A = this chain, B = another copy of it.
Amino acid sequence: MAGSTFGKCFTVTTWGESHGPALGAVVDGCPAGLPLCEADIQYYLDRRRPGQTAISTPRKEADQVRILSGVFEGRTTGTPISLIVENTSHKSGDYQQIASCYRPGHADYTFDQKYGLRDYRGGGRSSGRETIGRVAAGAIALKLLKELGITFCAYTKSIGPVKTSDTVFDKDAIRKTPTAMPDYEASRQAEAYLQSCMAQKDSAGGVIECRIDGIPAGIGEPVFDKLDASLGKAILSIGAVKAVEIGDGCRTALAKGSENNDAFVSRCGRITKKTNHAGGILGGISDGSAVLLRAYIKPTPSIFQKQDTVSQDGENITIAIEGRHDPVIVPRAVVVVEAMAALAVTDLLFENMHARMENIISFYRK
């Protein structure tokens, strides 16, 4: 099944396994005339790389992207854009252990159940490296949307029990802290928490929040391709994500209507809202306010503690995972959340262009 393509108008098809020669993506439906070069994409890929901080394992992953098609003289041509990142850093020997058992919390078992076989080296297609294609493609969407004044800002909201402040928001800290938190103090606490997890040979989860500014009102296609539903699918498709919130999310279930409704107000001839509990989406369509969403990420399944599991032959065994594993994946997933959100928004922005007869008429009468 074609489960590896996302989108209808602006589509991405990703491919590649953690231990294959390369990974990549093909972006189709990108309009012609967008300035694009490898540096535009590399910027985002670099944000997902480990081995740079105290809380990530020192794996050297160069992950340099090359653009193989769809760009000419510095601009997109409207034809499919093929992106490739060669795998340069892995040792097959690292992962031989898992060929013979099903690691808890990983997709080894389910891939075997589905396909009858699996590439047991690393996680194969279920490896975190699969996000390389998503981020590379998302980088193009992010650039395109920026041209339209639409910007994305994702960051770590919490790691384990450590939350960022609701009053302090330090944008610089997102790129400077190893936790990708917009709060230096919270980051220090989170790092301490992670050190203790590592000492226990354990791992942690966390929450990523993403704010999208500049989406014009009217984006989203009821009733099934609503903006929130499409964003939700995009985010839930990221490995390890176990919940998605839009706006106030889970808290809305506790609120009363008088508390949750966002009152409209007209200021200087523009209609806006007094509050934004809705997170910028009403009836599945953007209302012009900031879109807010949250992704809840489970703790990294690969821990060094002993775990009970079964071998591929069905015997009960105990394993202790080896190799290189981060105690938390949340900071690395921040750019993936931005990328996936951007892909969903771009797709719906294009679909919206034929929502009104008057726009189609003026488009074709030019």
Contacts and interface: CB of A to CB of B under 8 A. Distances in A.
A211 interface: no
Contact of A117 (B32, B119, B244): B32
A118 B283 CA distance: 13
A343 B216 CA distance: 29
A296 B247 CA distance: 12
Among the interface residues A15, A126, A147, A302, which one has the most CB atoms of the partner chain B within 10 A? A15
A24 B68 contact: yes
B354 A29 contact: yes
Which 7 A-B pairs rank lowest in CB-CB distance, beginning with the nearest?
A107-B283, A3-B221, A203-B257, A32-B115, A1-B351, A233-B233, A110-B285
Given A20-B68, A33-B116, A105-B278, 10 more contacts: A3-B226, A4-B223, A77-B125, A114-B355, A125-B222, A130-B223, A203-B256, A229-B234, A232-B244, A260-B298
Interface string A264-288: 1110010100100111011111111
A310 B293 CA distance: 26
B285 A111 contact: yes
B236 A21 contact: no
11 contacts: A13-B28, A15-B28, A110-B281, A111-B283, A113-B218, A114-B219, A207-B253, A229-B237, A245-B296, A261-B307, A264-B310
A323 interface: no
A283 B355 CA distance: 28
Contact of A114 (B13, B218, B303): B218
Among the interface residues A8, A109, A264, A281, which one has the most CB atoms of the partner chain B within 10 A? A264
Interface in A19-56: 20-24, 26, 28-29, 31-34
Interface in A45-96: 66, 68-70, 72, 75-82, 84
B77 A118 contact: yes
A187 interface: no
B116 A274 contact: no
Interface in A273-321: 274, 277-279, 281-288, 296-303, 305, 307-310, 314-316
